Amino acid sequence: MSKVLIAGIGNVLLGDDGVGPFAIKVLESQYDFPGNVELADLGTPGFDLPVHLSGADAVILVDSAKFGGEAGDIRLFRKDDILRDPPRARIDPHSPALRESFSLLELMGAIPREFLMIGMQGSRFEPGSTLSKPVRLCIPHVIDAVRRELYRLNVWCEPKDSIRPPWVWWDPTRNSAGVRTLQRRPHWSR
């Protein structure tokens, strides 16, 4: 596997929408990755999403998702899952449009061979709010899903010698409680 992109998507100032960037901060603080793996907080990409995804052989995205589950539930979406569903109306120019991005990447000949989106059902999206407790408690399961996908891709990451709490500048509590230990079993669906 040449290049692997692990990216978090979301607005960190809108509560559970920031789960993707939060997960990236946890991964950065707790694991060492080989040189062919890039970790990125993409914020709220819009029409520039294909630029971020191009050039990667494999992409793992972490984002909040609405799929009718309970807060903290996790659902895995492969490229075929995203291409199978008809496109929905975009809420705003910052809404990532994966289906459209894949179409553009295919035209460019730059579509990643492997793609996984780890979607987490959120419940709190008010401006200025932090991650809800159910979402925060399931972060270890998101990290586990990233590590399992890397393993499937034959890419290895190692725990850091000195694990530190993630630097999450937007979280006023600066509390990593629930990040290191599995405290709630998520409801997984496909």
Condensed to tens digits (0 to 9), the pLDDT of residues 149-182 reads 999 999 999 999 887 788 787 777 655 444 543 3
- The C-alpha atoms of residue 170 and residue 186 are separated, in whole angstroms, by 25
Using alpha carbons, list the distances in angstroms from residue 39 to 27, 53, 123, 130. Answer: 8, 12, 26, 22
Residue 44: predicted pLDDT? 87
Q: Is the pLDDT of residue 74 over 60?
A: yes
| Digit-coded pLDDT (tens) for 98-129 | 778 887 888 887 788 999 999 999 999 999 89
| Digit-coded pLDDT (tens) for 45-71 | 877 888 888 889 999 999 998 888 899
DSSP one-letter string for 43-62: ES-STTHHHHHTT-SEEEEE
Annotated domain spans of the chain: 4-189
Taking residues 90-102, report their average pLDDT.
61
- Residues contacting residue 33 through CB under 8 Å, at least 6 positions apart: 6, 27, 39, 155, 157
Pairing status of strand 4-9 against strand 114-121: unpaired
Residue 111: predicted pLDDT? 84
Looking at the domain covering 4-189, what would its CATH class be?
A: alpha beta
Q: Is the pLDDT of residue 187 over 80?
A: no
Pairing status of strand 37-43 against strand 31-32: unpaired
Residue 96: predicted pLDDT? 57
Residue 26: predicted pLDDT? 94
Task: Give the three-state DSSP class for 160.
Answer: coil
